[in-house]
A and B are shown apart, each in its own frame.
Chain A
Amino acid sequence: MEKTMPLDLLSSIKGAQSSEAVNKLFDVIKGAVPDNHTEASYDMDEHAVSIHDLRSDEPASCDADQKELIRKNFPAEKNGYLVVPKVMEE
């Protein structure tokens, strides 16, 4: 059986409800008729990043200043440890 996740769970926003304004945008798209251009010379791939042009998949280390700022931004700290609110329950 198909199970649809409720919007508040999908969005992690309490009491999430669909919006009338956004639903109107959906209605326009449902009723829109795309052109049917299939121009041979047009290459959609020109909008994609080539696999030959990717940076190497290697971790880059932050410098000491960046590490300090990242630590400083952590929301809670106690006795020199970064505090998380809860462990994962599931």
Chain B
Amino acid sequence: MESEIGKLHQDLQEGKISCVQLVEEKMKELKDSRHNTGNVLLDDLARSRAQAVDAKLKAGEEIGLLEGIPFGVKDVYLLQGAKATASSEFLRNYEAPYTATAIKKLMEAGAIPLVKENCDSFGHGSSNENSAFGPVKNALDESLVPGGSSGGSAVNVAKGHTVFSIGGDTGGSIRQPAGYNRVYGLKPTYGRISRYGLMAYASSTDCVGPIARTLEDIRILLNTMSGKDPQDQTSITSAPISKEVFETNGPGIGFKVGYYTSFLENKALDPQIKADFLSLLGTLKQLRIKVVPLDFYDTEVLVSTYYILAMAETASNLARLDGMTYGKRLTADTLKKGYALSRSVHFTEETKRRIIGGNQILSQGHSEEIYQKARVLRDQILIKFKQDFQEVDVIVSPVSPGTPPTIGSSLNRPLDMYMSDAYTVGFSLGGLPTLTAPIGTATGIQLSGAKNQEDSILKFAKLLTEAAKWN
């Protein structure tokens, strides 16, 4: 099975390249990049870790699979002693006091963090234009947005500046930029990877996940980062996924695949994406896979349910940012005015929109009518998913209704941006594992499984990737 990590590991072990050389090459690419993907380069840390790997190799020691492999970290994760800005003005100078569990696990396995990657500020956005560090440019066309919020991470992987990157996905923030830049991106089952050290956006859907160029790399990284963590009470125990998951037994292999008809009825769906998606369903049938149409909620209801819950949660999570104990502080003649001034000046317009919306949702008079109703809708969505996965193994869907817009064209149309998440947010509400694969449509396809069924979606993605090659 093709693996970029595996190939580089072999090259390092056989002395075809030194780790310092590898890290320097990637660092130069990041510095020279026109895509604005990096907020902070971790030069010193990366070099010292690369030197340690080379010393081991020189001494004739075996190195681990991830040892010496350079990677990127979305700038919403904490890495002790490094800047952790959340692409915000508020935290531009903040230094992380500890390291996030997922990043720590990768570093314990020997991987080398190179860069804190540009993203939408606090994860608030779907285009990576909402950043205090400026917009990121799409890997395939610099005039287009890269998607968001993990835009810098997806572009770095697509351009090869990092071997893999760790994104964060609350409502599609790994899957949509992965689709826009034609790479793989996995949002695992909620809780499979600890959220400890990930800056909270909407805690009930926040997920840590890998972005990579091969499926095998996604499997390796998922296994490395997964596991119950006492620091995150919502984390869960899971079994590692074996390499054999990719050993398919020819066409079909007994899969039953569902798709949501309401997704195809979305008026905003690009005709070519629709045609390509229908063509993909045709290919599945040719492979003797049973394809089942399923009913689901209207995409407007899914988007509204997600955003109402996410805004309520982010208003609570970001209430702690007031410039008192960390972050930038501005002072005024009273304490409360000082809080308000710090928050008004240092949050972006989109972040303020979500905080204000979240406080409206949670306030008296709105909470029953809006927040509680969104909770009821979410419960019903969970039940629907449970029923659907009794009928099918995998649900396939487009990643996005449209292709990436040009930079600057949608920043002032927040509703359009929210609606661009039409196909990703439902699976976030369900806590379901969902993979973007760069096949099928211009922005790829999503494969979703029942909770903890990452192995099914990886297996099916392999099958589809093979089928795409035949076609």
Contact = CB atoms under 8 A, between A and B. Distances in A.
Given A37-B387, A55-B230, 13 more contacts: A11-B343, A12-B343, A13-B340, A16-B352, A25-B304, A25-B307, A25-B418, A44-B379, A55-B233, A62-B98, A75-B324, A75-B327, A85-B335
Contacts of B360: 7, 10, 18, 22, 26
Contact of B338 (A20, A44, A55, A85): A85
A40 B356 CA distance: 38
B356 A14 contact: no
Contacts of B132: none
Q: Which 4 A-B pairs have the closest CB atoms?
A: A75-B329, A69-B97, A22-B357, A28-B304
B352 A25 contact: no
B323 A25 contact: no
Contacts of A73: 94-95, 97, 325-327
Nearest to B234: A49
Contacts, number: 169
Interface of A: 2, 4-5, 7-22, 24-26, 28-30, 32, 34-37, 39, 42, 44, 47, 49, 53-55, 62, 65-66, 69-70, 72-76, 84-89
Interface of B: 80-81, 94-98, 230, 233-234, 297, 300-301, 303-305, 307-308, 311, 315, 319, 322-329, 331, 334-336, 338-341, 343-344, 347, 352-353, 355-357, 359-361, 363-366, 369-370, 373-374, 376-377, 379-380, 382-384, 386-387, 414-415, 418, 431
Contacts of B361: 26
Contacts of A85: 323-324, 329, 331, 335, 338
A62 B366 CA distance: 40
A2 B356 contact: no
A69 B80 contact: yes
A76 B386 CA distance: 52
A45 to B, nearest CB: 12
B301 A72 contact: no
B370 A30 contact: yes
A12 B431 CA distance: 31
